[in-house]
Amino acid sequence: MRLTDQAILITGGASGLGHAVVERCIAEGALLAVLDRSAERLAELRAAFGGILTICGDVRSLADNRRAVDACLQDFGKLDCAIGNAGIWDFNTHLIDLPDDTIDEAFDEVFHINVKGYLLLAKAATPALVESGGSMVFTISNAGFYPDGGGPLYTASKHAAVGLVRQLAFELAPHVRVNGVAPGGISSDLRGPQSLGMSERTIASLNLQNSAKDNVPTGTLPTAKDYAAAYVFFASREDNVPATGSILNYDGGFGVRGLRQTRGGDDLLARMAAPKAESK
C-alpha cells in the first residue's frame, strides 16, 4: 500500500470529497486525522473507521489548526502530509445578484474558509512537515483556472488558492512539497455561505449528472471516490518525488472543450466503422 503508516491530516474530511479521500487513504495504509466543524459527522467517521483521529474545530482558527497538528504528533508521533480540503461554494451567484447588505460578510466567509483556512493549515503544519520531509496537498477546483465554475467569490478564492500553492511550494522547497488537485463537478455535500442563506443547500441538489453528458468532455460526472486517487498520488512518498508547485487538472477535460461543441469524438465510432474511400 502506497501510504503505509504515513500520518495524514485532512480538513473537511467528514463529508463529501473529503470523506472519500479519508476512505481511500485508509485503504492505502495511512494513519488519518480529520479536522472538521461537525461533531456529529466526526462521530459517524469514528464509527465507520475505527482508530481514526478526529478534531472538532474551525479551519478559520489558527489555534484549531495547531490543535489538530499537535494531536497528530501526540498520537502518531509525526505528520507526513497535510491536506487542505474544507471549502464552500457560492452556487454561481453572479456579482449583480450579491446583496448589497451582505456582500462584505459573504466575501469574508468564502475567503476565510477557502483561502485563509489553507494558509492557517500550512502555518500550523509547516514545522512538523519540515521535520518529516513531508508534503501539503490542497483542493483547488476547475474554477481556479476557468470562469463559470462558480460566481466571482468562489472563482476568485480558488484562483487565490492556486497562487497560494505556488508561493508555498517556492518558500518551503526543498523541505516540503506543496501541490494541488483541481476537481471538476461533483455531487457531494459541498455547501454554500451562511451569509447568503446557503449553509443548508448542497451541490448534490443540482443533479449535475443530468448535464454532464452535454458539458463534460468525458461524458460523465465523476464521483467523490473517482477523485480520491489524486490525493493518494500527491501524498505518496514514492509516486511523485519531483512534484511540487503542481496542480492536477482532474476535471473530466474542461480545458479541452471545443468552441463549437463539448468534444469531437461523439461520432468517432461511426466514422471508424464507415467504409474508407480508396485513394488513387
Which residues participate in catalysis according to the annotation? 154
Secondary element (H or E) of residue 158 = helix 152-172
Q: Which residue has the cell 459541498?
A: 190
Nearest to 125 by CA among 160, 179, 173, 84: 84
Please check whether residue 233 is in contact with residue 223, taking contact to mean a CB–CB distance below 8 angstroms: no
CA torsion through residues 39, 43, 48, 50, sign: positive
Q: Is 201 helix (H, G, I), strand (E, B) or coil?
A: coil
Q: Measured between alpha carbons, how far is residue 206 from residues 4, 92, 156, 191, 232 in Å? A: 37, 12, 22, 12, 28
Measured CA to CA, the distance from residue 47 to residue 165 in angstroms comes to 33
CB contact at 8 A, 47 and 103: no
Q: Which three cell numbers stand for residue 194?
A: 451562511
Instruction: For residue 249, list its beta bridge partners.
Output: 182
DSSP state of 137: E
Amino acid occupying residue 63 = A
Q: Which residues pair with 68 in a beta bridge?
A: none
3-state secondary structure 15-67: CHHHHHHHHHHHHCCCEEEEEECCHHHHHHHHHHCCCCEEEECCCCCHHHHHH
Task: Cell 476557468: give the residue.
Answer: 146
